[in-house]
Structure 1
Amino acid sequence: MNISLRQEQPKDYPKTEALIEQTFRNEEMSDQQEHLLVQRIHRSDAFIPELSIVAVNQQNEMIGQILFSKITIENKDQVTESLALAPVSIHPDYQKQGIGSMLMNRGLEKAKESGYTSVIVLGHPDYYPRFGFKPASLWGIKAPFDVPEEAFMALELEKDAFKNVSGVVQYSEAFSE
């Protein structure tokens, strides 16, 4: 299978949102609103265009996407910049073929190259640990809402990025609109 990865472009947004809606349509752990979240992130100050990556097949059809956006981890003494990974979407016809792993690896690599030192994700505890994610609670990092501890995970892109970090993740307004 010949898949290429590239940065998402503004002209891609409608296709990206349609892909995300289709991907999450039948997910039981989803509110089926991820496509609307991405629409809001695209318009927000938290959006990082170079960390919005799409996968396309030989026919130039979009079959996958990954998006990272700016967040902070805050306590009464400090504010630490980080990234939220949300969402990763693979067209149902292309799932379980390694495309998600390709997007994850490229996205994490680009995030590190861009100077980010950590990533937070709320996701399947069986999937994200293969990329190095661990429960965020190991560092005293908490979600701003109730979530299962094992589903709220963090990754240090740089050694000891969370050494002196703890607190509550503050997502952009796009996540709460």
Structure 2
Amino acid sequence: MEEVIVRAESPEDVKAIDVVNLSAFEGDAEAQLVDAVRRSPDFIRDLSLVAEINGRIVGHLLLSKAALEGEGGRKSVLVLGPMSVVPSQSHRGIGVALMQAAVNRARDMRYTAIVIAGRPDYYERFGFKPGSEFSISTNLPVPEDAVTAMELVSGALAGGGRVVYPAVFEAIY
């Protein structure tokens, strides 16, 4: 099996990332979301990751900044979305490689937590826990049990609160 290489996106990757998102999802909402986040102050180039096999981009994962608003005030957290893999390349460990790299990079960059809205059955295998365990919710119209989170720093989500995704996310939910 070919090696999966994960790296930060470069400006030359934009069109290939669009193709990955368009092939992985029905419609262009996710591709538009990535573009909108890329143009926002919440974008972190080092946390917009691509997966390559034989020099071809076959996956993409985006972590961006959001706020956790709770009784203790406002804290910065990361939110994941979207993550995509070219359908013909699924079941090759691409999503796993992207997730592991994203968590490791976020931790190395000293971010404190990652929150995800969607597919808890998938993300819990990477160590994400139900958002209810941290008493967190989001501003997105998703079921409570769709929210998962991971503390990169112990106690980062203590006290819970509401994760406020950037406005660009509301367009796809």
Match of 1:35 among 31, 36, 46: 31
* Corresponding position of 1:22: 23
2:66 is equivalent to residue 65 of structure 1: no
The match for 1:74 is 69
Q: For 2:121, what is the secondary structure of its paired residue?
A: coil
Match in the other structure for 2:166: 172
User: How much does 1:3 deviate?
Assistant: 2.0
For structure 1, the 5+ residue unaligned runs are 26-30
Residue 80 of structure 1, CA deviation:
1.1
C-alpha distance in 2 between matches for 1:6 and 1:162: 28
Distance 1:115 1:128, change over 3 A: same
Letter in 1 for 2:17: T
Q: What one-letter code is carried by the residue in structure 1 that aligns with 2:37?
A: I
Residues 30-89 of structure 1: CA deviation (Å, up to 9, x unaligned)? x7511110010010000000011101111x111011110000111354001100011111
Q: Aligned pair in 2 of structure 1 residues 145, 174: CA closer, same or farther (>3 Å)?
A: closer
The aligned residue for residue 152 of structure 1 is 147
TM, length-normalised to structure 2: 0.92
Q: Aligned-residue CA RMSD in angstroms?
A: 1.5
CA distance in 2, matches of 1:125, 1:94: 22
Q: What is the TM-score when the length of structure 1 is the normalising length?
A: 0.90
Percent sequence identity is 35
Q: CA separation in 2, counterparts of 1:90 and 1:43?
A: 22
Give the drift of 1:174.
Answer: 2.1
In structure 1, what is the equivalent of residue 4 of structure 2? 3
Greater Cα shift, 8-17 or 36-45: 8-17
Partner in structure 1 of residue 51 of structure 2: 55
Matches of 1:151 and 1:108 in 2, distance apart?
19
Mark the runs of 5 or more structure 2 residues left unpaired by the alignment. Answer: none
- Aligned partner of 1:128 among 108, 123, 127: 123
Distance 1:142 1:32 in 2: 26
Q: In structure 1, what is the Cα distance between the partners aligned to 2:72 and 2:103?
A: 28
Q: Which secondary structure state, in structure 2, belongs to the residue aligned with residue 126 of structure 1?
A: helix
